[in-house]
Amino acid sequence: MPHIFCSWKAPLVALAALSTLAATALAQPFALRDGDRVVFYGDSITDQRLYTTFAETYVVTRFPKLDVAFVHSGWGGDRVTGGGGGPIDVRLWRDVLAYNPTVMTIMLGMNDGRYKAFDQQLFDEYVAGYKHIVETVKKQLPDIRITAIQPSPYDDVTRAPLFEGGYNQVLLRFSDFLKQFAVDEKLGLADLNGPVAAMLAKAKDLDAAGAAKILPDRVHPGPGGHLIMAEALLKSWNAPATVSAVELDAARKKAVNQANAHVSDLVFGKGVSWTELDDALPMPFDTRDATVALAVRASDFVDAVDRQPLSVRGLAPGRYTLSIDGGPVGSFSAGQLDSGINLAELPTPMARQAAAVHALTLQHAAMHQTRWRQVQVPLEKTPAEHLLGALHAIDALEADLVRAQREAAQPKAHRFELTPE
């Protein structure tokens, strides 16, 4: 399993913003609810199972007590009319409605424009097809909450467009339709185009060669691009930015703030030690992947969805080593600790635990993919006596993996220690 955690470089974190974040979270509750069943629907970009699994892992680690199921139903090459997995109505009945979802996301459009300049007929087909999808699903599941996704960009940022205006401008025309359609049909809306394009532009300024690798074929993002896509989807769901927040005051010898965290056994001396049990885990991603690191640098990902601030005020001047469960995770000045550090950007035991959760997310998504694409669909017209039993067995195995995922996501208490260097 890859060692996944955020950058060692932990910028100062302004704890004054926590009350604002908390107020925002209260005003706009997270969109997913206990008992929800989410189906991610789309083409090959959804079929990559990257932005979808990042989003799933965020939900499981940020809300470890929430019971939400996830099904990944992307199929490469799909348009609003369907594709390699069958016509659209086959896809919807077999790959969406069969799971009785309460939440559905739809990202289509990349293939519908046919990679050429804007064509009114193709646009009209997209509009009619998208409306048919929503109408069909709503007719069968009137209470479903649908998030329409403005399709992720074709990379006309790090490379010159292939024709005047570029293909991404075509996708933006499709996105404009979705904006109004979402209002008309009371759908959720997530923009996975604008934030990724903006990240690419900034990444190009930082490292032009590296930026071109974020969408290596101009269509399918690597993990860095998908991470920013997941952020955009999560923002549309009112995802909270804060994992946990702790503020200690050495002069007053007390914890003065504990948000999504429970501090006990505080001991003050030349340094400070305490036990902490958080309510959530940080978001795992692998910054050893240079394109992931570049995408994070060129975006607001950390501030938007991965804040885990720790502030210790009133320490004597000097540098301090922060250890968790006896293992050092970083060295900081008293001034840095006073201003606040972001634990989510450090190689903590919590980050390693979250990485283990993500590994299980990938495993259960892959198990479903095997069941669906290698057994169910290829054999659905074959008279095989044990087909149904095989499908049930794979479903049971996937359920085992999901249970392990949820168990692995439950936060654990850790012993923190700040010692003078």
* Domain boundaries, given as residue ranges, for the chain: 1-30+244-279+308-421, 31-236
211 and 294 Cβ atoms separated by less than 8 Å = yes
- Nearest one of 296, 339, 359 to 8, comparing CA atoms: 296
Q: Beta strand pairing status for 145-150 and 103-107?
A: parallel
Prediction pTM value: 0.93
* DSSP H helices in 96-144: 120-140
Burial (0-12, 13-18, 19+ Cβ within 10 Å), 150: buried
178 and 189 Cβ atoms separated by less than 8 Å = yes
Q: What pLDDT is attached to residue 28?
A: 86
Q: Beta strand pairing status for 254-259 and 69-74?
A: unpaired
Q: What pLDDT is attached to residue 287?
A: 86
Contacts of 169 (CB under 8 A, 6+ apart): 118, 156
Q: Residue 104, SS3?
A: strand
Q: Which residues pair with 19 in a beta bridge?
A: none
Q: What pLDDT is attached to residue 20?
A: 40
- Nearest one of 30, 19, 1, 20 to 240, comparing CA atoms: 30
- Residues comprising the chain, all counted: 421
Report the alpha-carbon distance of residue 21 to residue 159 in Å, rounded: 38
Q: Beta strand pairing status for 414-420 and 272-278?
A: antiparallel
DSSP 242: B
The CA-based angle 310-349-403, given to 5 degrees, is: 115
Amino acid residing at 344: A
Report the alpha-carbon distance of residue 79 to residue 76 in Å, rounded: 9
Q: What pLDDT is attached to residue 8?
A: 32
CATH annotation of 31-236 = 3.40.50.1110
The structure tokens 């590994």 sit at 359
Q: What pLDDT is attached to residue 27?
A: 57
| pLDDT string in tens for the chain (421-residue length) | 333 433 333 334 444 344 444 444 445 899 999 999 999 999 999 999 999 999 999 999 999 999 999 999 999 999 999 999 999 999 999 999 999 999 999 999 999 999 999 999 999 999 999 999 999 999 999 999 999 999 999 999 999 999 999 999 999 999 999 999 999 999 999 999 999 999 999 999 999 999 999 999 999 999 999 999 999 999 999 999 999 999 999 999 999 999 999 999 999 999 999 999 999 999 999 989 999 999 999 999 999 999 999 999 999 999 999 999 999 999 999 999 999 999 999 999 999 999 999 999 999 999 999 999 999 999 999 989 999 999 999 999 999 999 999 999 999 999 999 999 9
Q: Beta strand pairing status for 145-150 and 188-191?
A: parallel
